[in-house]
A = this chain, B = another copy of it.
Amino acid sequence: MTTRKRRPSGEASREHILSIALGLFREKGFDGTTMRDIASAAGLSLGAAYYWFPSKEALVLAYYARQQDAHAEAARGALETMPDLRSRLGAVMHAKIDMLKDDRKLLRAILRSTLGADEPTSVFSEETSDVRRKAIATFHDAIGKDESIPEDARPLFAQALWTLHLGLLLYFVSDTSEDQGKTRALVDGSLDLVCKLAPLLASPMLGPMRAEIAALLQNAGLFAAKK
């Protein structure tokens, strides 16, 4: 309550602009929608839109956060009722696809900036680390206390699942099959394989390899060892 008391109609503008923008993105695509379109559809001037969102890509960032929160929420519900690892993972993935199913065009248009290395909207960027952390946590929750995955392997496994999920989404955005059936099949097939293969890494034969993988990723800075 120091200086943060004022936001009477302010934040409402922000939400309003974001809704209008996402609607236009879905309808006309990302490139097909102009910042001037957004501003005028929202009943504001161009400059006002830039007051709330410093760039067109900032709208994408806001979309990320919104989706991630919604997904975490949806996943939380599904996780409670699922008895085993495989079905929990399936629930998480399918919940995401259900949620994004009508946004494929939007996602496709956005994709270019979500994989870049420099871009602030990159899935790997500092700016999106919050969203990323939450997403990985959702997978960690899905793993739960399943005994087939040794406890110390769970963070690594969660991260691997997140990476797999990125790959699946990459496929998904261009999947024009009925109800995204091909993506669903790919999701289920991948998860079947993963659930069969993952426990093998705990077996005597492949056990040491797990440490090798973890070390490799840690040296590359791709995986932060917990405490």
Contact = CB atoms under 8 A, between A and B. Distances in A.
Contact of A220 (B185, B193, B216): B185
Contacts of A197: 209
Contacts of A119: 112
B113 A118 contact: no
A1 interface: no
Nearest to A213: B193
A55 to B, nearest CB: 13
Contacts of A221: 182
A182 B112 contact: no
Interface stretch (A95-103, A147-155, A170-178): A170-178
Contact of A171 (B108, B111, B222): B222
Given A209-B193, A219-B185, A174 B112 contact: no
Interface residues of A, number: 31
Given A189-B216, A213-B193, A116 B117 contact: no
B112 A115 contact: yes
A109 interface: yes
Contact of A190 (B108, B112, B189, B216): B216
A16 interface: no
Interface string A167-205: 000110110000000100110011011001100000000
A185 B221 CA distance: 12
A117 B173 contact: yes
20 contacts: A108-B116, A108-B118, A109-B118, A111-B115, A112-B113, A112-B115, A112-B118, A115-B115, A115-B116, A117-B170, A117-B173, A182-B220, A185-B216, A186-B216, A189-B216, A192-B212, A193-B209, A193-B212, A193-B216, A196-B209
Interface of A: 108-109, 111-113, 115-119, 170-171, 173-174, 182, 185-186, 189-190, 192-193, 196-197, 209, 212-213, 216, 219-222
